């Protein structure tokens, strides 16, 4: 088992971006395909600023990926790679601001929305952090913004576990050795090295793949043919947009962010799902769909089904920490169903079918080609793929212990996912018995934000009532 030092130094995976990560990185220039997320942590007290700065300095030294930037090859024939930022300046990544006026949660979330909407500097390591002090209850908020090319949701939870203390006192990371310096990449060298290695290895890879294909065809020709047919049928289902139009009540959309948070007791959510033969995730999705049903009632529009997207983790125990291992599922979800019990049953069946699609990871096949397209073409293709849904929802799982940052205890952890062309991105993570729901919505699409906040509470309340 690797030590904590080895785990920290290896977080982030290999030096080259995967084709999927390169695709997300190269499509960053347009708000419709931007893939930057933020974690909002509420702190019970205000941490010492000097201690927080020192902690970031030490952590970025011991997790090298946090001091690395993306280097593009001279020509987009090979993937970008991570390279040490020789001009790394922590002041460009860590900020300290004070909440305005009363220091309410709403004011803090407005600051967080502006922070989330500001693009990252592509010439620096793709992350930023901000401490917001002066909250009304004497606490503070810590915001961590990460580009999706660094990690997916589970990789982000791994990073939080590596970077947060187990108590108010400094942890053993202060004594951990600094990893050796990594290789510095250049656009010219990256192209020459990777392209040369690919050319040299191509004949062997082609022979091996051909031998595998021929071997499967000879030993089980019927099974091989049936597998191809099943995959083709699955690919058709996965590539087709969900069998439901986008809602006319959710407008054309814009570039602004509005953030909402909501707390749901984990045990009650699990009990509600179990009472209907489903899971906590089924109950979570049913609560969201209930919220959109109430909102459509509020604006006087009937929608029977709504297209939504949901990431499905493909991560295994053999995968490195950090990085990205997920696929996207899209389906038409029941919105008009007023009975929360029936919604849970229906969503359970829909999600179960989506998880077992043989072609669920089809983007892994397309990403190597798409990531090499010109930026404008890539952006349009990516936005067309993500722009068919009204909602994206993601359940990141759970955090298994209490977090501390520079001595301050974390009371809530709200994940705020990127919003690629949808009216709302809703993400949840469980922390200390509470499901912390973070909502990133488009105020140009959901125009009555206050009403939607009430609808969100109503949607979850009717699901939680099933636990009784």
- DSSP string across 172-193: GGGGSPPPPPPPPP-HHHHHHH
Calculate the alpha carbon distances from 269 to 155, 236, 284, 309 in Å: 24, 34, 7, 21
Residues contacting 352, CB < 8 A, separation 6+: none
Highest mean predicted confidence (pLDDT) among 215-219, 269-273, 309-313:
269-273
Burial-class residue 316 by CB neighbours within 10 Å (0-12, 13-18, 19+).
exposed
Provide the token pair at 252. 């054309």
Residues contacting 461, CB < 8 A, separation 6+: none
Domains of the chain, by residue range, sit at: 4-189, 242-395+416-467
- d(CA 194, CA 14) in angstroms, rounded, equals 14
Model confidence at 397: pLDDT above 50: yes
In the residue annotation, 31 being an active-site residue is answered as: no
pTM of the model: 0.88
pLDDT, tens digit (0-9, with 9 covering 90-100), for 329-363: 888 999 999 999 999 999 999 888 877 776 566 56
The residue-averaged pLDDT of 433-442 equals 97
Burial-class residue 165 by CB neighbours within 10 Å (0-12, 13-18, 19+).
buried
Share of the chain above pLDDT 90, in %: 59
Domains 4-189 and 242-395+416-467 share a fold: yes
Pick the CATH number of 4-189 from 3.40.190.10, 2.130.10.10, 3.30.559.10, 3.90.1150.10: 3.30.559.10
Share of the chain above pLDDT 70, in %: 81
215 falls in which pLDDT band (50, 70, 90)?
Answer: low
Comparing C-alpha atoms, which of 30, 27, 13 is closest to residue 370? 27
Please, how many CA atoms are within 13 Å of residue 174, restricted to the half-sphere of its CB?
Answer: 9
385 falls in which pLDDT band (50, 70, 90)?
Answer: low
Provide the token pair at 448. 């009555």
Query: Residue 457, SS3?
Result: helix
Say if strands 326-334 and 94-98 run parallel, antiparallel, or are unpaired.
Answer: unpaired
158 φ/ψ sector (left φ>0, alpha ψ -120 to 50, else beta): alpha
Query: Can you name the CATH fold of 242-395+416-467?
Result: Chloramphenicol Acetyltransferase (3.30.559)
Of the residues 93, 148, 164, 296, which is catalytic?
Answer: 148
At residue 183, φ and ψ (nearest 5 deg) are -65, 140
């Amino acid at each position: 088992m690797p030590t904590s030092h080895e785990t920290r130094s290896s977080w982030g995976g290999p030096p080259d971006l995967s084709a999927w990560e390169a695709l997300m990185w190269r499509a960053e220039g347009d708000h419709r395909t931007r893939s930057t997320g933020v974690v909002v942590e509420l702190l019970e007290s205000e941490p010492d600023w000097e201690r927080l700065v020192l902690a970031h300095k030490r952590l970025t030294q011991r997790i090298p990926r946090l001091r690395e930037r993306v280097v593009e090859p001279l020509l987009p024939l090979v993937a970008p790679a991570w390279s040490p930022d020789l001009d790394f300046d922590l002041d460009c990544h860590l900020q300290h601001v004070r909440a305005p006026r009363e220091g309410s949660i709403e004011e803090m979330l407005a600051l967080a929305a502006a922070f989330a909407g500001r693009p990252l500097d592509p010439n620096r390591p793709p992350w930023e952090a901000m401490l917001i002090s002066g909250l009304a209850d004497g606490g503070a908020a810590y915001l961590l913004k990460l580009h999706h090319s660094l990690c997916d949701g589970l990789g982000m939870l791994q990073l939080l576990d590596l970077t947060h203390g187990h108590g108010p006192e400094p942890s053993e990371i202060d004594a951990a050795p600094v990893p050796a310096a990594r290789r510095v990449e250049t656009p010219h060298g990256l192209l020459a090295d990777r392209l040369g290695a690919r050319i040299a290895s191509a004949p062997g890879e082609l022979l091996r793949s051909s031998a595998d294909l021929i071997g499967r065809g000879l030993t089980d020709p019927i099974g091989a043919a049936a597998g191809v047919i099943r995959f083709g049928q699955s690919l058709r289902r996965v590539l087709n947009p969900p069998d439901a139009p986008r809602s006319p009540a959710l407008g054309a959309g814009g570039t602004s962010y509005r953030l909402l948070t909501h707390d749901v007791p984990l045990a009650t959510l699990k009990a509600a799902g179990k009472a209907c033969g489903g899971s906590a995730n089924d109950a979570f999705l049913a609560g969201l769909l209930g919220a959109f049903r109430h909102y459509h009632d509020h604006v006087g529009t009937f929608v029977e089904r709504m297209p939504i997207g949901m990431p499905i983790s493909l991560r295994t125990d053999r995968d490195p920490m950090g990085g990205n291992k997920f696929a996207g599922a899209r389906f038409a979800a029941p919105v008009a169903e007023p009975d929360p019990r029936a919604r849970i049953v229906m969503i359970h069946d829909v999600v179960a079918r989506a998880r077992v699609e043989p072609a669920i990871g089809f983007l892994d096949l397309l990403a190597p080609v798409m990531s090499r397209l010109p930026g404008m073409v890539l952006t349009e293709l990516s936005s067309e793929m993500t722009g068919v849904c009204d909602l994206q929802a993601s359940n990141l799982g759970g955090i298994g212990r209490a977090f501390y940052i520079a001595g301050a205890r974390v009371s809530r952890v709200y994940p705020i996912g990127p919003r690629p062309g949808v009216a709302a991105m809703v993400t949840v993570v469980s922390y200390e018995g509470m499901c912390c729901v973070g909502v990133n919505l488009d105020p140009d699409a959901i125009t009555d934000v206050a009403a939607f906040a009430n609808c969100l509470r109503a949607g979850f309340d009717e699901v939680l009532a099933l636990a009784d």
